[in-house]
Amino acid sequence: MTDFKNVVMNERLYGYMLAQAQPPNAIQAELIARTRALGESAQMQIPHEQAVLLTMLVRLSTAERIVEVGTYTVYSTLAMALGLPPTGRVITCDVSEEWTAIAQDAWRAAGVADRVELRLGEAAQTLRALPTDAAPARTCTSSLSPSPPRHGEV
């Protein structure tokens, strides 16, 4: 008997799933291309379908404040910012100046630069430095890196 609870993802099913999702817009497509050009590290970028889900979850949760650990080349940050209302904010942190350098262009082009704040440095320090009086009504924490190149105490 087939166990329908555990459907194995294959190329056909994945293709079908992608066909149902909103495709990357021009800014996202450029971000994917620029990230791929970085080489091996590009595998850290979340796939587009996860970005679609993130935007939707942020919108549905009506979150207004998001703290993200692990910006990389900002694909997930952009996705979450797109789900926020104009008054919403994402604080995103990363240790890499090189990888996050792509950020400003993408946020500006997408019209969400005023919703995003990048903090460079160890996540643990960034999180500790968050003001407690700015405690958000709703916070969504996202994108903790399980992968190289760096892990510290978070």
Ligand X SMILES: C[S@@+](CC[C@H](N)C(=O)[O-])C[C@H]1O[C@@H](n2cnc3c(N)ncnc32)[C@H](O)[C@@H]1O
Q: Which residues bind ligand X (CB under 6 A)?
A: 44-46, 70-73, 75-76, 93-96, 99, 122-123, 143, 145, 147, 150-152, 154
Residues in the chain: 154
Look up residue 77 and give its amino acid: T
CB of 30 to ligand X, least distance (A): 14
Phi, psi values for residue 52, rounded to 5°: -60, -45
112-146: buried (b, 16+ CB within 10 Å) or exposed (e) per residue? beebbebbeebbeebbeebeeeeeeeeebebbebe
Q: Give the containing element (helix H, strand E) for 97.
A: helix 97-100
Nearer Cβ to ligand X (139/145): 145
CB of 13 to ligand X, least distance (A): 23
**Strand 65-69 to 139-142 pairing:** parallel
Nearer Cβ to ligand X (70/88): 70
Nearer Cβ to ligand X (74/88): 74
Q: Give the containing element (helix H, strand E) for 58.
A: helix 48-61
CB of 71 to ligand X, least distance (A): 6
CB of 149 to ligand X, least distance (A): 6
Nearer Cβ to ligand X (16/25): 25
Nearer Cβ to ligand X (44/116): 44
CB of 93 to ligand X, least distance (A): 5
